[in-house]
Amino acid sequence: MKLVSLFTGIGGFERGLDFAHIEYEPVFASEIDIPAQKTYLSNYNPVSLVGDITKIDEKDVPAHDFLVGGFPCQAFSIAGKRKGFEDARGTLFFDVLRILKLHKPDYFLLENVKNLVNHDGSNTIKVILNCLAELEDYSIDFSIVNAKEAGAPQNRERTYIVGIKNAKREPYEFDKRSFKIDYIKKQLNKKKYPSFNFFNSLEFDNEQLYIKDIISRNVSDNFYLNSESVQKFLEENSFREDKNPQQKIVKLFDLPKEVHNDLERQRRVYSIYGISPTVLARSDTTKIYVTHNGKKAIRKFTPAENFRIQGYDEEFIKNILKKSGNSNTQLYKQAGNAVSPLAIAGISKHIFEKNDKGESIWR
């Protein structure tokens, strides 16, 4: 299966396909950010890795079977005029469309932030769906999937859109993950949208991981909050911590501002027996409560831990740390911008799921 990966970042879609044991040949990848390119090349060596996709003619993109991409969320310039494909001009989503329109791969999988469904008063998602419907050949489904469903030790909700060419079509059923998406689907049903119910039957069978499962034992003092005020606060206070793992974010306490002068979000300290809040593209990551040199301590995640929180494996992370040459600041940014390969693996498996006769269940 020939793969085209747009806005490829560090290669999270590819890693998800690896996890799913789906055989593919990367024939084209696009990523404009140079540090992210270096990280991508730490693990993958595609036939073609290019930069700015807006400067690449769609005719120069090789024929392919599967297109994937996490395109940026942008408002459309012609809001609410419902011109479909024309509405997308001037946005990076247009570059996804023009490649899909020319090559018509059998499958596509797109990822975006959870807020895509609310962005610009929901106009953005509606224009995107209208544009995809204009491609004519595809059955389309969309929903919000949380990476913790796939076992990732993180609360990370993202919007996913799946298109399968010549798949069966049926009205949207109740969306079990999102009331907002269900509302949009009910509107689309009135328009006889080219819909099918993909995400409602999506299930994951991975073991659930927790923060305690991914943290390193030997971590540099640079990652700890070592001020005298923090140490004094920890010595003078005790905290009840339930050591039974829970598939939720478990906040233990907030550091007082006079103890740690930072934004409220950066003064929250979490239990390692829960999962992490959403990893962001910045170096001020989740703070956790641990024991260090026999004493109570607070520290943030290392770059390697941020990648583990996302669901990346040790070989992938080791190659990044050894080969990319990127700073910790860049690595934090890349981890926060990446897709979770555990979620991608489960969704991809479902796309290529077979029936008892070995045929695609979606045909």
What beta strand segments (E) does the chain contain? 2-6, 25-30, 49-50, 66-69, 107-113, 138-146, 157-165, 251-254, 268-270, 287-292, 295-300
73 is annotated as an active-site residue: yes
Residue 169 three-state SS: coil
b/e 310-322 (16+ beta carbons within 10 angstroms → b): bbbeeebbeebbe
Q: Six-digit token pair at 170?
A: 């049926």
Q: Residue 49 phi/psi, 5° resolution? A: -115, 115
Marked catalytic residue, from 3, 6, 61, 73: 73
Secondary structure (DSSP) of 321-359:
HHHS---HHHHHHHHHHSPPHHHHHHHHHHHT-B-TTS-
Tokens 């859109």 correspond to: 161
Active-site positions read 73
